[in-house]
Amino acid sequence: MEQKLRVGILGATGMVGQRFISLLEDHPWFEVVTVAASPRSAGKTYEEAVGGRWKMTTPMPEGVKKLKVLNVNEVEKVAATVDFVFSAVDMTKDEIKAIEEEYAKTETPVVSNNSAHRWTPDVPMVVPEINSEHFAVIEDQKKRLGTTRGFIAVKPNCSIQSYAPCLAAWREYEATEVVATTYQAISGAGKTFKDWPEMVENIIPYIGGEEEKSEQEPLRVLGKVENGKIKKADLPKITCQCIRVPVLNGHTAAVFINFAKKPTKEELIEKLVNYRGYPQEENLPSAPKQFIRYLGEENRPQVALDVEYENGMGISIGRLREDSIYDYKFVGLSHNTVRGAAGGAVLCAEALTAKGYIKAKIPQ
Ligand SMILES: NC(=O)c1ccc[n+]([C@@H]2O[C@H](COP(=O)([O-])OP(=O)(O)OC[C@H]3O[C@@H](n4cnc5c(N)ncnc54)[C@H](OP(=O)(O)O)[C@@H]3O)[C@@H](O)[C@H]2O)c1
């Protein structure tokens, strides 16, 4: 790419916004030129607005420190500065739905981390390795919005990324039932232990709205495009419990699974490690070389050892074994704010750019 695409981050001062800023430092295709947040932060420099809230382990990139924070709600003003935006604002669902559409209608593509549009029928919800063909519904969405280049694309919830990739890799064995318990990191709530001391040595058996997302969203990702909409898959039936655990980064899932066509353990492992998708075929800048790895040791995957696999963009699976009630059980791990949030959205944007959906607004 001769000239980088100009990117804005809506919600740039938050946990996910900061992750976008870190991941996009030195990105070969995208350059952060605009940061936007609530009216509380607007007018300050990014460095001032974030203040003591910088939660990344790497320092704040120099290139963004002096950018003046814009108000997310001043849509035209923000949109005029960028080719597309990433959205990670914390507003009500209705507000996010409305504002993301407003941005799309300014002919600014929106790649969103938020859940507001995940069930809008013509909005693709994509894990690029699994269902990048769902981007095709963007053409129908643009007709509905009356736009030529503006649209919304979303990525699914962080909780599903530790097991949904296995369902995709094992599709030919026709999973019928899945029982999953997720053990979710506190960064998924935008928190560190400093902001949430009650989580030290604690477990909280409730994460609002998370179980429904974990049960339903994999079916939409595994669904197909039909008449300009995404039709979700009927199977497998999925039931989940989502539990907050005292871990900073990394969602673990313990999963039981039944298949219509029961494979051998060797076949299941072979399908996982050989699973490749569009990002690997196109060698996209943020694509993990190996999307899913299998760890044979009894005590893996472990958050401390494995969460950063493939810079947080890969999935680690282990402990696959036959079960006495279900066909198999296994444990999966993924990085919730990288693969599960900002990194997954950056990979979506790279796929959208490679497929020609995101382009520079003014030909350069
Ligand atoms: N953390 C995760 O792993 C994760 C994963 C998937 C999805 N999500 C979703 O991503 C979104 C952001 O999460 P987060 O953890 O980054 O939240 P966060 O740390 O609380 O950050 C929220 C961001 O939204 C801005 N904001 C808040 N109220 C606003 C308003 N009324 N108008 C405009 N901007 C406003 C904040 O700006 P100020 O700094 O100016 O207040 C900040 O930039 C949430 O919807 C969350 O559910 C998070």
Query: What distance in angstroms lies between residue 246's CA and the mean position of ligand 1's atoms?
Result: 21
CATH number of 159-335: 3.30.360.10
Query: What distance in angstroms lies between residue 34's CA and the mean position of ligand 1's atoms?
Result: 16
Query: What distance in angstroms lies between residue 72's CA and the mean position of ligand 1's atoms?
Result: 11
Core vs surface per residue 132-146: b (16+ CB within 10 A) or e? bebbebbebbbeebe
Say how many Å lie between the first and final Cα of the chain, rounded.
11
* Nearest Cα residue to atom 6 of ligand 1: 341
- Cβ of 99 closer than 6 Å to ligand 1, yes or no, is no
The contacts of residue 344 (CB under 8 Å, 6+ apart) are 113, 127, 155, 156, 161, 338
Neighbours of 212 (CB within 10 A): 12
Query: What distance in angstroms lies between residue 220's CA and the mean position of ligand 1's atoms?
Result: 24
Taking the CA of residue 11 as reference, the ligand 1 atom at the shortest distance is: 43
Active-site positions read 158, 251
**pTM for this prediction:** 0.97
- Cβ of 75 closer than 6 Å to ligand 1, yes or no, is no
Q: Which residue has the tokens 């990048």?
A: 132
Query: What distance in angstroms lies between residue 108's CA and the mean position of ligand 1's atoms?
Result: 20
Phi then psi dihedrals of residue 217, to 5 deg: -65, -35
Would you state the structure tokens that stand for residue 94, as one six-digit string? 């209705």
- Cβ of 341 closer than 6 Å to ligand 1, yes or no, is yes
Domain ranges for the chain, please list them: 5-157+342-354, 159-335
Whether the CB-CB separation of 17 and 41 falls below 8 Å is answered with no
- 84/205 Cα distance (integer angstroms): 38
Burial of 27 (0-12, 13-18, 19+ CB in 10 A): middle
Cα 288 to Cα 279, 311, 330: the distances in Å are 8, 8, 22
- Cβ of 230 closer than 6 Å to ligand 1, yes or no, is no
Q: Which of 90, 184, 212, 249, when mutated, tests ligand 1's pocket best, judged by the most ligand atoms within 8 Å of its CB?
A: 90
Query: What distance in angstroms lies between residue 42's CA and the mean position of ligand 1's atoms?
Result: 15
CATH superfamily name and code, 5-157+342-354? NAD(P)-binding Rossmann-like Domain (3.40.50.720)
* Nearest Cα residue to atom 12 of ligand 1: 88
- Cβ of 15 closer than 6 Å to ligand 1, yes or no, is yes
- Cβ of 147 closer than 6 Å to ligand 1, yes or no, is no
> What does each of the 364 residues of the chain score in pLDDT, given as a tens digit?
779 999 999 999 999 999 999 999 999 999 999 999 999 999 999 999 999 999 999 999 999 999 999 999 999 999 999 999 999 999 999 999 999 999 999 999 999 999 999 999 999 999 999 999 999 999 999 999 999 999 999 999 999 999 999 999 999 999 999 999 999 999 999 999 999 999 999 999 999 999 999 999 999 999 999 999 999 999 999 999 999 999 999 999 999 999 999 999 999 999 999 999 999 999 999 999 999 999 999 999 999 999 999 999 999 999 999 999 999 999 999 999 999 999 999 999 999 999 999 999 975 4
Cα 314 to Cα 35, 184, 309, 317: the distances in Å are 28, 17, 6, 10
Q: Which of 89, 110, 127, 338, when mutated, tests ligand 1's pocket best, judged by the most ligand atoms within 8 Å of its CB?
A: 89
